[in-house]
Amino acid sequence: MLSSPSHRIRQKPVDKTLLGIMLLLMLFGLVTLFSATYYKALQAGDDPFSEVKKQLFGVGIGAAAMFITCRIPYRFWMKPRIVFGGILLSILLLILVVIPGVGVYINGSRRWLSVGGISFQPGEFAKYAVVLFMAMTLTMRGKRVQKLVKGIFPVLIVPGVLFLLILEQPNLSTAGTIIIVSVLMVMLAGARWRHMLVLGAGGLVIGAYYAWSEEYRRERLLSFMDPFAKMSDEGYQLSQSLIAFGSGGLFGMGLGQGRQKYAYLPYPESDFIFAIVGEDFGLMGCLAVICLFIAFMMAGMRIALTCDDKFGCLLAAGIIGMISVQAFINMGVVVGVLPTTGLPLPFFSAGGTSLSITMAAVGIVLNISRSGNRNMI
Protein backbone atom coordinates (compact mmCIF):
# COMPACT_ATOMS: atom_id res chain seq x y z
CA MET A 1 0.00 0.00 0.00
CA LEU A 2 1.41 3.37 -1.01
CA SER A 3 1.71 5.93 1.74
CA SER A 4 0.01 9.23 1.26
CA PRO A 5 2.09 12.40 0.92
CA SER A 6 1.14 13.41 4.45
CA HIS A 7 2.85 10.28 5.80
CA ARG A 8 6.10 10.74 3.94
CA ILE A 9 9.12 11.98 5.82
CA ARG A 10 9.77 15.57 4.94
CA GLN A 11 13.40 16.39 4.31
CA LYS A 12 14.83 19.27 6.29
CA PRO A 13 15.59 22.46 4.38
CA VAL A 14 19.17 23.46 3.75
CA ASP A 15 20.94 25.92 6.02
CA LYS A 16 19.84 29.28 4.64
CA THR A 17 22.44 31.18 6.68
CA LEU A 18 25.39 29.59 4.88
CA LEU A 19 23.66 29.97 1.52
CA GLY A 20 22.85 33.63 2.16
CA ILE A 21 26.39 34.50 3.24
CA MET A 22 27.82 32.79 0.15
CA LEU A 23 25.47 34.81 -2.09
CA LEU A 24 26.55 38.05 -0.40
CA LEU A 25 30.22 37.16 -0.92
CA MET A 26 29.59 36.38 -4.59
CA LEU A 27 27.68 39.64 -5.12
CA PHE A 28 30.45 41.67 -3.46
CA GLY A 29 32.95 39.73 -5.57
CA LEU A 30 31.19 40.52 -8.86
CA VAL A 31 31.06 44.23 -8.06
CA THR A 32 34.75 44.23 -7.13
CA LEU A 33 35.67 42.22 -10.23
CA PHE A 34 33.96 44.79 -12.46
CA SER A 35 35.88 47.59 -10.75
CA ALA A 36 39.16 45.69 -11.16
CA THR A 37 38.75 44.87 -14.86
CA TYR A 38 36.66 47.49 -16.66
CA TYR A 39 39.56 49.90 -17.29
CA LYS A 40 41.78 47.23 -18.84
CA ALA A 41 38.88 46.08 -21.05
CA LEU A 42 38.20 49.63 -22.25
CA GLN A 43 41.88 50.12 -23.08
CA ALA A 44 41.80 46.97 -25.19
CA GLY A 45 38.57 48.02 -26.90
CA ASP A 46 36.60 45.17 -25.31
CA ASP A 47 33.31 45.01 -23.45
CA PRO A 48 33.90 46.48 -19.94
CA PHE A 49 31.67 43.73 -18.54
CA SER A 50 33.57 40.92 -20.28
CA GLU A 51 35.22 39.49 -17.14
CA VAL A 52 32.00 39.82 -15.16
CA LYS A 53 30.12 37.92 -17.88
CA LYS A 54 32.71 35.15 -17.78
CA GLN A 55 32.36 34.99 -14.01
CA LEU A 56 28.57 34.90 -14.29
CA PHE A 57 28.89 31.95 -16.66
CA GLY A 58 30.90 30.21 -13.95
CA VAL A 59 28.23 31.17 -11.42
CA GLY A 60 25.59 29.56 -13.65
CA ILE A 61 27.57 26.32 -13.96
CA GLY A 62 28.29 26.39 -10.25
CA ALA A 63 24.62 26.96 -9.38
CA ALA A 64 23.62 23.93 -11.47
CA ALA A 65 26.37 21.83 -9.84
CA MET A 66 25.36 23.04 -6.36
CA PHE A 67 21.70 22.21 -7.11
CA ILE A 68 22.79 18.64 -7.86
CA THR A 69 25.27 18.14 -5.00
CA CYS A 70 22.80 19.65 -2.56
CA ARG A 71 20.37 16.83 -3.37
CA ILE A 72 22.79 13.93 -3.39
CA PRO A 73 22.89 12.28 0.08
CA TYR A 74 26.30 13.19 1.43
CA ARG A 75 27.16 9.60 2.35
CA PHE A 76 27.33 8.91 -1.40
CA TRP A 77 30.72 10.68 -1.30
CA MET A 78 32.02 8.08 1.16
CA LYS A 79 32.00 5.30 -1.45
CA PRO A 80 35.59 4.12 -2.05
CA ARG A 81 35.19 4.12 -5.83
CA ILE A 82 34.16 7.78 -5.71
CA VAL A 83 36.94 8.80 -3.31
CA PHE A 84 39.79 6.90 -4.97
CA GLY A 85 38.48 7.79 -8.42
CA GLY A 86 38.76 11.46 -7.47
CA ILE A 87 42.29 10.96 -6.13
CA LEU A 88 43.48 9.05 -9.21
CA LEU A 89 41.93 11.64 -11.54
CA SER A 90 43.65 14.40 -9.56
CA ILE A 91 47.02 12.66 -9.81
CA LEU A 92 46.57 12.16 -13.56
CA LEU A 93 45.62 15.80 -14.16
CA LEU A 94 48.48 17.07 -11.98
CA ILE A 95 50.95 14.94 -13.94
CA LEU A 96 49.56 16.21 -17.24
CA VAL A 97 49.76 19.84 -16.17
CA VAL A 98 53.54 19.74 -15.60
CA ILE A 99 54.29 18.12 -18.98
CA PRO A 100 55.71 20.74 -21.39
CA GLY A 101 53.35 21.33 -24.27
CA VAL A 102 50.36 19.97 -22.32
CA GLY A 103 50.12 22.26 -19.33
CA VAL A 104 49.54 25.96 -20.00
CA TYR A 105 52.61 28.00 -19.04
CA ILE A 106 51.84 31.46 -17.58
CA ASN A 107 54.15 33.75 -15.57
CA GLY A 108 56.75 31.12 -14.77
CA SER A 109 54.23 28.49 -13.63
CA ARG A 110 52.53 25.58 -15.33
CA ARG A 111 49.27 25.28 -13.36
CA TRP A 112 46.55 25.15 -16.02
CA LEU A 113 45.10 22.69 -18.50
CA SER A 114 43.07 23.88 -21.48
CA VAL A 115 40.20 21.75 -22.81
CA GLY A 116 38.01 23.10 -25.58
CA GLY A 117 39.26 26.63 -25.00
CA ILE A 118 38.41 26.49 -21.29
CA SER A 119 41.34 26.67 -18.88
CA PHE A 120 41.23 25.27 -15.38
CA GLN A 121 43.62 24.45 -12.57
CA PRO A 122 43.70 20.75 -11.63
CA GLY A 123 44.84 21.87 -8.18
CA GLU A 124 41.34 23.26 -7.53
CA PHE A 125 39.81 19.82 -8.12
CA ALA A 126 42.58 18.09 -6.16
CA LYS A 127 41.87 20.17 -3.03
CA TYR A 128 38.37 18.78 -2.59
CA ALA A 129 39.39 15.28 -3.68
CA VAL A 130 41.80 15.32 -0.73
CA VAL A 131 39.02 16.50 1.61
CA LEU A 132 36.84 13.56 0.52
CA PHE A 133 39.75 11.14 1.01
CA MET A 134 40.59 12.48 4.46
CA ALA A 135 36.96 12.43 5.63
CA MET A 136 36.47 8.81 4.51
CA THR A 137 39.82 7.53 5.75
CA LEU A 138 39.66 9.23 9.15
CA THR A 139 36.12 7.93 9.67
CA MET A 140 37.16 4.36 8.87
CA ARG A 141 40.29 4.46 11.05
CA GLY A 142 38.37 5.46 14.15
CA LYS A 143 40.48 5.60 17.30
CA ARG A 144 43.63 4.51 15.45
CA VAL A 145 44.07 8.19 14.59
CA GLN A 146 45.34 8.64 18.14
CA LYS A 147 48.53 6.81 17.14
CA LEU A 148 51.19 8.79 15.30
CA VAL A 149 53.11 6.22 13.26
CA LYS A 150 50.37 3.66 12.59
CA GLY A 151 47.44 6.05 12.69
CA ILE A 152 48.29 9.51 11.33
CA PHE A 153 51.26 9.01 9.01
CA PRO A 154 49.51 6.53 6.66
CA VAL A 155 46.55 8.92 6.29
CA LEU A 156 48.82 11.79 5.23
CA ILE A 157 50.55 9.83 2.43
CA VAL A 158 47.96 10.76 -0.23
CA PRO A 159 47.89 14.48 0.68
CA GLY A 160 51.69 14.35 0.68
CA VAL A 161 51.81 12.91 -2.85
CA LEU A 162 49.46 15.61 -4.16
CA PHE A 163 51.49 18.22 -2.26
CA LEU A 164 54.66 17.15 -4.11
CA LEU A 165 52.90 17.08 -7.49
CA ILE A 166 51.51 20.58 -7.03
CA LEU A 167 54.94 21.85 -5.95
CA GLU A 168 56.21 20.85 -9.40
CA GLN A 169 54.04 23.54 -11.03
CA PRO A 170 55.26 25.32 -8.79
CA ASN A 171 52.34 26.31 -6.55
CA LEU A 172 53.35 26.33 -2.90
CA SER A 173 50.20 28.14 -1.75
CA THR A 174 47.75 25.53 -3.03
CA ALA A 175 50.01 22.68 -1.94
CA GLY A 176 50.38 24.20 1.50
CA THR A 177 46.63 24.72 1.84
CA ILE A 178 46.05 21.02 1.18
CA ILE A 179 48.46 20.04 3.95
CA ILE A 180 47.08 22.62 6.41
CA VAL A 181 43.49 21.47 5.94
CA SER A 182 44.49 17.79 6.06
CA VAL A 183 46.21 18.32 9.41
CA LEU A 184 43.21 20.27 10.73
CA MET A 185 40.94 17.36 9.77
CA VAL A 186 43.26 14.93 11.57
CA MET A 187 42.98 17.13 14.66
CA LEU A 188 39.17 17.20 14.43
CA ALA A 189 39.15 13.41 14.08
CA GLY A 190 40.58 13.09 17.60
CA ALA A 191 44.38 13.08 17.22
CA ARG A 192 46.44 13.74 20.34
CA TRP A 193 47.77 17.25 20.86
CA ARG A 194 51.37 16.12 21.26
CA HIS A 195 51.18 14.43 17.89
CA MET A 196 49.78 17.61 16.36
CA LEU A 197 52.72 19.55 17.81
CA VAL A 198 55.13 17.09 16.19
CA LEU A 199 53.38 17.50 12.83
CA GLY A 200 53.38 21.28 13.21
CA ALA A 201 57.09 21.41 14.01
CA GLY A 202 57.90 19.12 11.11
CA GLY A 203 55.82 21.25 8.76
CA LEU A 204 57.62 24.41 9.83
CA VAL A 205 61.02 22.83 9.24
CA ILE A 206 60.04 21.56 5.78
CA GLY A 207 58.43 24.90 4.89
CA ALA A 208 61.49 26.87 5.98
CA TYR A 209 63.80 24.60 4.01
CA TYR A 210 61.65 24.86 0.89
CA ALA A 211 61.35 28.65 1.14
CA TRP A 212 65.13 29.05 1.47
CA SER A 213 66.25 26.35 -1.00
CA GLU A 214 65.83 28.44 -4.17
CA GLU A 215 67.03 31.99 -4.82
CA TYR A 216 63.72 33.24 -6.21
CA ARG A 217 61.92 31.94 -3.09
CA ARG A 218 64.41 33.70 -0.84
CA GLU A 219 63.89 36.91 -2.81
CA ARG A 220 60.13 36.60 -2.46
CA LEU A 221 60.43 36.03 1.28
CA LEU A 222 62.76 39.01 1.73
CA SER A 223 60.48 41.20 -0.41
CA PHE A 224 57.56 40.37 1.87
CA MET A 225 59.55 41.66 4.84
CA ASP A 226 60.39 44.99 3.14
CA PRO A 227 58.53 45.30 -0.20
CA PHE A 228 59.34 48.98 -0.80
CA ALA A 229 63.06 48.19 -0.73
CA LYS A 230 62.53 45.84 -3.69
CA MET A 231 59.94 47.74 -5.72
CA SER A 232 61.88 47.17 -8.92
CA ASP A 233 61.66 43.40 -8.54
CA GLU A 234 59.87 40.96 -6.22
CA GLY A 235 58.38 43.63 -3.99
CA TYR A 236 56.59 45.58 -6.73
CA GLN A 237 53.18 43.90 -6.56
CA LEU A 238 52.96 43.98 -2.77
CA SER A 239 54.10 47.60 -2.70
CA GLN A 240 51.36 48.62 -5.14
CA SER A 241 48.87 46.65 -3.07
CA LEU A 242 49.84 48.52 0.10
CA ILE A 243 49.60 51.82 -1.78
CA ALA A 244 46.04 50.84 -2.76
CA PHE A 245 45.08 50.25 0.88
CA GLY A 246 46.67 53.55 1.89
CA SER A 247 44.80 55.42 -0.84
CA GLY A 248 41.49 53.88 0.20
CA GLY A 249 41.67 55.16 3.75
CA LEU A 250 38.66 54.59 5.97
CA PHE A 251 35.77 54.64 3.49
CA GLY A 252 37.52 54.22 0.12
CA MET A 253 37.69 56.28 -3.03
CA GLY A 254 34.38 54.95 -4.35
CA LEU A 255 33.40 52.16 -6.72
CA GLY A 256 35.68 52.23 -9.77
CA GLN A 257 37.53 55.33 -8.56
CA GLY A 258 40.70 53.57 -7.41
CA ARG A 259 43.81 54.14 -9.53
CA GLN A 260 45.91 51.01 -8.93
CA LYS A 261 43.95 49.13 -11.57
CA TYR A 262 45.33 51.59 -14.16
CA ALA A 263 48.22 49.20 -14.96
CA TYR A 264 49.99 49.82 -11.63
CA LEU A 265 48.88 46.71 -9.73
CA PRO A 266 49.57 43.55 -11.77
CA TYR A 267 46.61 41.19 -12.16
CA PRO A 268 44.18 43.07 -9.90
CA GLU A 269 41.40 40.69 -10.93
CA SER A 270 43.02 37.57 -9.47
CA ASP A 271 45.37 37.11 -6.51
CA PHE A 272 45.34 40.78 -5.41
CA ILE A 273 41.67 41.62 -5.90
CA PHE A 274 41.36 42.30 -2.16
CA ALA A 275 43.55 45.38 -2.75
CA ILE A 276 40.81 46.71 -5.05
CA VAL A 277 38.36 46.27 -2.18
CA GLY A 278 40.68 48.31 0.03
CA GLU A 279 41.13 51.13 -2.47
CA ASP A 280 37.50 51.43 -3.60
CA PHE A 281 35.72 50.68 -0.32
CA GLY A 282 38.38 51.48 2.28
CA LEU A 283 38.94 49.89 5.66
CA MET A 284 35.21 49.52 6.24
CA GLY A 285 34.80 47.57 3.02
CA CYS A 286 37.71 45.28 3.94
CA LEU A 287 36.23 44.66 7.39
CA ALA A 288 32.89 43.84 5.78
CA VAL A 289 34.54 41.20 3.55
CA ILE A 290 36.50 39.76 6.49
CA CYS A 291 33.34 39.59 8.62
CA LEU A 292 31.48 37.83 5.80
CA PHE A 293 34.21 35.18 5.54
CA ILE A 294 34.22 34.73 9.33
CA ALA A 295 30.43 34.37 9.29
CA PHE A 296 30.72 31.87 6.41
CA MET A 297 33.28 29.85 8.37
CA MET A 298 31.19 29.88 11.57
CA ALA A 299 27.99 28.89 9.74
CA GLY A 300 29.81 26.03 8.02
CA MET A 301 31.47 24.79 11.20
CA ARG A 302 28.11 24.89 12.95
CA ILE A 303 26.80 22.52 10.29
CA ALA A 304 29.81 20.26 10.87
CA LEU A 305 29.36 20.22 14.65
CA THR A 306 25.64 19.43 14.48
CA CYS A 307 25.97 16.63 11.93
CA ASP A 308 24.79 13.21 13.10
CA ASP A 309 27.86 11.22 12.05
CA LYS A 310 31.62 11.54 11.93
CA PHE A 311 31.98 11.40 8.14
CA GLY A 312 29.54 14.26 7.58
CA CYS A 313 31.20 16.30 10.32
CA LEU A 314 34.69 15.86 8.85
CA LEU A 315 33.51 16.42 5.27
CA ALA A 316 31.72 19.68 6.10
CA ALA A 317 34.62 20.90 8.24
CA GLY A 318 37.13 20.04 5.51
CA ILE A 319 35.25 21.86 2.76
CA ILE A 320 34.59 24.95 4.86
CA GLY A 321 38.16 24.82 6.17
CA MET A 322 39.58 24.67 2.64
CA ILE A 323 37.63 27.76 1.55
CA SER A 324 38.33 29.68 4.77
CA VAL A 325 42.06 28.91 4.94
CA GLN A 326 42.45 29.97 1.31
CA ALA A 327 40.55 33.21 1.93
CA PHE A 328 42.53 34.25 4.99
CA ILE A 329 45.88 33.31 3.44
CA ASN A 330 45.01 35.42 0.39
CA MET A 331 43.98 38.43 2.47
CA GLY A 332 47.06 38.04 4.68
CA VAL A 333 49.29 38.09 1.59
CA VAL A 334 47.61 41.14 0.07
CA VAL A 335 47.98 43.22 3.25
CA GLY A 336 51.61 42.13 3.71
CA VAL A 337 51.16 39.89 6.75
CA LEU A 338 52.20 36.71 4.89
CA PRO A 339 54.74 36.06 2.10
CA THR A 340 53.45 36.61 -1.42
CA THR A 341 51.82 33.53 -2.96
CA GLY A 342 49.61 32.87 -5.96
CA LEU A 343 46.37 31.99 -4.18
CA PRO A 344 43.03 33.45 -5.39
CA LEU A 345 40.36 34.86 -3.09
CA PRO A 346 37.30 32.55 -3.09
CA PHE A 347 34.12 34.08 -4.60
CA PHE A 348 36.09 37.20 -5.66
CA SER A 349 39.00 36.36 -7.94
CA ALA A 350 38.34 35.86 -11.65
CA GLY A 351 38.07 32.20 -12.59
CA GLY A 352 34.74 30.65 -13.45
CA THR A 353 35.95 27.05 -13.21
CA SER A 354 37.35 27.54 -9.71
CA LEU A 355 34.14 29.26 -8.62
CA SER A 356 32.01 26.43 -10.06
CA ILE A 357 34.00 23.78 -8.17
CA THR A 358 33.77 25.78 -4.95
CA MET A 359 29.99 26.19 -5.30
CA ALA A 360 29.60 22.46 -5.95
CA ALA A 361 31.56 21.76 -2.75
CA VAL A 362 29.34 24.17 -0.79
CA GLY A 363 26.35 22.21 -2.15
CA ILE A 364 27.68 19.12 -0.35
CA VAL A 365 27.82 21.08 2.90
CA LEU A 366 24.25 22.26 2.34
CA ASN A 367 23.16 18.63 1.97
CA ILE A 368 24.93 17.80 5.22
CA SER A 369 22.99 20.63 6.87
CA ARG A 370 19.74 18.77 6.11
CA SER A 371 20.70 15.97 8.51
CA GLY A 372 22.02 18.02 11.43
CA ASN A 373 20.30 18.90 14.67
CA ARG A 374 20.55 22.70 14.55
CA ASN A 375 19.21 23.05 18.08
CA MET A 376 22.30 21.39 19.54
CA ILE A 377 24.33 24.62 19.64
pLDDT digits (tens, 9 = 90+) for 18-47: 999 999 999 999 999 999 998 888 887 788
Handedness of CA 190, 194, 197, 203 (dihedral sign): negative
Q: Which helix (H) or strand (E) holds 221?
A: helix 215-225
Report whether 127 contacts 86 (CB < 8 A): no
The model's confidence at residue 361, banded by pLDDT at 50, 70 and 90, is: very high
The pLDDT value recorded for residue 221 is: 67
Average pLDDT over residues 309-323: 96
> Which of 47-56, 145-154, 239-248, 321-330 shows the lowest mean pLDDT across its residues?
145-154
Average pLDDT over residues 97-109: 74
Q: Which residues of 323-357 are buried (b: 16+ CB within 10 A; e: fewer)?
A: bbbbbbbbbebbbbebbbbbbbbbbbbbbbbbbbb
The pLDDT value recorded for residue 101 is: 75
Report whether 344 contacts 327 (CB < 8 A): no
Residue 6 has pLDDT above 90, yes or no: no
The pLDDT value recorded for residue 98 is: 83
Specify the amino acid at residue 338.
L
Highest mean pLDDT among 34-48, 116-130, 165-179, 278-292: 278-292
- CA dist 57 and 233 (Å) reads 36
The pLDDT value recorded for residue 11 is: 66
Sheet-wide strand order for 118-120: 104-106, 109-115, 118-120
Comparison of pLDDT for 228 and 161, the residue scoring more = 161
The model's confidence at residue 10, banded by pLDDT at 50, 70 and 90, is: low
The pLDDT value recorded for residue 4 is: 40
* Nearest Cα residue to 282 out of 304, 308, 255: 255
Highest mean pLDDT among 118-127, 150-159, 227-236, 292-301: 292-301
> Which of 230-239, 247-256, 286-295, 355-364 shows the lowest mean pLDDT across its residues?
230-239
Share of the chain above pLDDT 90, in %: 53
Average pLDDT over residues 7-24: 81
Average pLDDT over residues 74-103: 91
Average pLDDT over residues 95-124: 77
The model's confidence at residue 172, banded by pLDDT at 50, 70 and 90, is: confident
The pLDDT value recorded for residue 1 is: 37
The pLDDT value recorded for residue 195 is: 84
